[in-house]
Amino acid sequence: MSSMLYNLGSGIMLEFKRQESIAKNLAGSSIPGYRKEFLVSSSFSKELKNQSSDNVSGLSGVSEGKLTIDFTQGGIKNTGRNLDFALVGNGFFEVTTTEGTNFYTRNGSFNLSPEGELITSAGHQVASENGSIKFGKTDNLDDLIISEDGTLLIKNATTKRAIGKLKIVDIQDKTKLQRISANFFVVNKGEENQMIEAVDYKILNKAYETANLSPVQEMATMISSLREFEMSNNVLKMQMKLSEKSQRILS
Residue ranges covered by each domain of the chain: 2-71+212-250, 76-209
Nearest to 89 by CA among 250, 214, 202, 237: 202
Report residue 1 CA to chain centroid gap. Answer: 39
Output DSSP code: residue 160. E
d(CA 231, CA 3): 18
Average pLDDT, integer, range 18-37: 95
d(CA 11, CA 229): 7
Residue 149 burial by Cβ neighbours in a 10 Å radius (0-12, 13-18, 19+): exposed
Q: Is the pLDDT of residue 56 over 50?
A: no
d(CA 119, CA 141): 15
pTM of this structure:
0.80
The radius of gyration of the chain from alpha carbons, rounded to an integer in Å, stands at 25
Give per-residue pLDDT as tens, 119-134: 999 999 999 988 889 9
Nearest to 209 by CA among 92, 89, 108: 108
Nearest to 227 by CA among 38, 9, 41, 44: 44
pLDDT at 62: 53
pLDDT band at 227 (very low <50, low <70, confident <90, very high): confident
